[in-house]
């Protein structure tokens, strides 16, 4: 998996993506759920089922704090796993 650490300004409204393609092999996503910590706002959540990526739009946060955002997926074959994105919230 790619490096999943990001610098996020409290004023940002940005999309963050987990690319599951390599891990999935020939399997596909059927469910994607995000766990967003208090202090961040989930603006939209979009996963294209049958695709290999999961995307979440986030805003907010407190400068100086770090946030772990968890993407939990289920695949067509019934596999389930998590991937964590780490947002370092900093003024840019």
Residue 83 sits in a domain whose CATH number is 2.60.40.10
Residues facing residue 73 across a β-bridge = 32, 81
Query: Domain count of the chain?
Result: 1
26-66 pLDDT, tens digit per residue, is 999 999 999 999 999 998 756 555 589 999 999 999 999 99
Question: Which CA distances in Å does 42 have to 15, 50, 59, 60?
Answer: 10, 22, 7, 9
- Residues 13 and 56: beta-carbon distance below 8 Å: no
Q: Which residues contact 35 (CB under 8 A, 6 or more apart)?
A: 69, 70, 72
Residue 1 in this model has a pLDDT that exceeds 50: no
Structure token digits, residue 17: 């993506």
- 18: containing domain: 5-89
C-alpha 86/C-alpha 92 separation (Å) is 17
C-alpha 17/C-alpha 91 separation (Å) is 22
70-92 pLDDT, tens digit per residue, is 999 999 999 999 999 999 999 98
Percent of the chain with pLDDT strictly greater than 70 = 91
Please provide the average confidence, as pLDDT, over all residues in the chain.
91
């Amino acid at each position: 998996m790619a490096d999943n650490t990001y610098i996020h300004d409290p004023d940002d409204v940005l999309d963050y993506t987990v690319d599951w393609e390599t891990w999935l092999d020939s399997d596909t996503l059927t469910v994607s759920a995000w766990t967003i910590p208090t202090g961040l706002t989930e603006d939209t959540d979009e996963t294209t089922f049958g695709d290999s990526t999961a995307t979440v739009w986030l805003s907010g946060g407190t400068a100086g704090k770090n946030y772990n955002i968890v993407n939990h997926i289920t695949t067509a074959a019934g596999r389930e796993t998590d991937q964590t994105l780490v947002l370092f919230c900093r003024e840019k």
